Amino acid sequence: MLRTREAFVALALVACADVNSVVGGACAEGYVQQGETCVRAPASTAPDPTADAAPPTDDSDGGTITREAGSHPKAGNSGGGGDTVAFCAAPEILCAGVCLDPTNDPNNCGACGKVCPSNSCVAGQCVGSAPGHVVVIGHDYASAPSTFSSQARVLSNAVLMPASNPLRVMSYEEFASASAVSNAESLVAAEAKQLGRGVSFVATTSSATVATIDETSYDVLLVHDQREAPSGTLGTIGSSWESDGHVAEFLHSGGVVVVLTGGGGVGEMPALVSNAGLLSVTSETSITGALTVLAPADAVGSGVVSPYIPKPSTVTLDTEANGGDVVWVVGQDGAPVVVHKVMP
């Protein structure tokens, strides 16, 4: 019995040294659990001095929106929200507290949470082709609809189509209303929270930055209604996106582009969308009254209650015919308000 007790004491002394510091059934401060023992925690993470991310802001429903200015952090520099320096041996990166290899992990391909639809990741790139999606929504969200309303769900369905978690969204806001941007992002964040997902909105006020978008850094391009743009500007911006080719490459790699328009300002969002080669829209018409969900089985129309009354600043779109790769999701009197185009 004595020898057993001595062995226990000896084990306890070793444990208290460096390998198993357990206090009250949990690891002591400075230690982390590894298997059935506690080991010294790695050096604590420190703020990344190169990060230009703004602090998170809470939405009205208790969710968190991570807003960042500039480019999205690249794989290998950070884990999760992008605000800390990771301590994993290259090529591994820290994702949700775990070191993972982004060069071959189909659920974290090239970056934390980047999911490959093909379940194949090679050299940090998803293998296999996937269709992209363009969704043009005839609401500008300057007047915030209630959370989880039909108008809110149309937007969240569109933005949350990619499976990546956290979802990485480039938010183009150069000539947009700040309140409309905030309203739209809050609605998406609230829906994402219900689904257990995170969303990172990376704000840009430069159309040239949009023209450099790539699928390794972003899942979605969200173009807010540029209602404060000078006359003649938006068509030129759209043409520059089309000629540069990066937006088209982003779409053909499975990216999602969501465009919001409510007919405000100079009313030239159709020129932006058309000149960029996203969807042919010749004009838009401001409307009031109830809208009908025309395609409830479509990904954008899923779970949207019909009919629904939209907030002000709603338009119908004179656009491509319904059928084939183009789906009129929501409309009024035979004219579409929400259009979903699949880009093979």
| Cβ-contact 20, 32 below 8 angstroms | no
pLDDT confidence of 33, banded at 50, 70, 90? low
Q: Shortest CA distance to 169 belongs to which of 127, 113, 233, 130? A: 113
Alpha helix segments (H runs only) across the chain: 2-14, 150-159, 178-194, 207-210, 233-244, 246-252, 269-275
pLDDT (0 to 100) of residue 121: 86
Mean pLDDT score, 84-108: 84
- C-alpha–C-alpha distance, residues 307 and 275, integer Å: 32
pLDDT (0 to 100) of residue 291: 98
If DSSP codes are grouped into helix, strand and coil, which group holds residue 288?
Answer: coil
Beta-bridged to residue 132, according to DSSP, are 343
Q: Residue 277: pLDDT above 70? A: yes
pTM of the model: 0.73
Average pLDDT, the chain: 83
Mean pLDDT score, 310-336: 97
Outline which parts of the chain fall under CATH 3.40.50. Answer: 132-343
Q: Residue 52: pLDDT above 50? A: no
Q: Residue 305: pLDDT above 90? A: yes
pLDDT confidence of 87, banded at 50, 70, 90? confident
- Bridge-based pairing of strands 64-69 and 57-58 is antiparallel
Beta-bridged to residue 320, according to DSSP, are none
- C-alpha–C-alpha distance, residues 290 and 69, integer Å: 37
> Looking up tokens 């969900």, which residue turns up?
293
The C-alpha R_g of the chain, in whole angstroms, comes to 24
If DSSP codes are grouped into helix, strand and coil, which group holds residue 327?
Answer: strand
pLDDT (0 to 100) of residue 41: 55
pLDDT confidence of 59, banded at 50, 70, 90? very low
What contacts 318, CB < 8 A, 6 or more positions away?
270, 281, 282, 283, 284, 285, 335
Residue 203: in which H helix or E strand, if any?
strand 199-204
Bigger pLDDT: 229 or 71? 229
Q: How many residues does the chain have?
A: 344
Mean pLDDT score, 128-138: 90
Angle between helices 178-194 and 150-159 (to 10 degrees): 80
Bigger pLDDT: 119 or 66? 119
Out of 8-12, 19-23, 90-94, 270-274, which region has the weakest mean confidence (pLDDT)? 8-12
Question: ∠ at Cα 289 (286, 293), nearest 5°?
Answer: 95
Whether domain 132-343 has CATH 2.60.40: no
Question: ∠ at Cα 275 (272, 280), nearest 5°?
Answer: 90
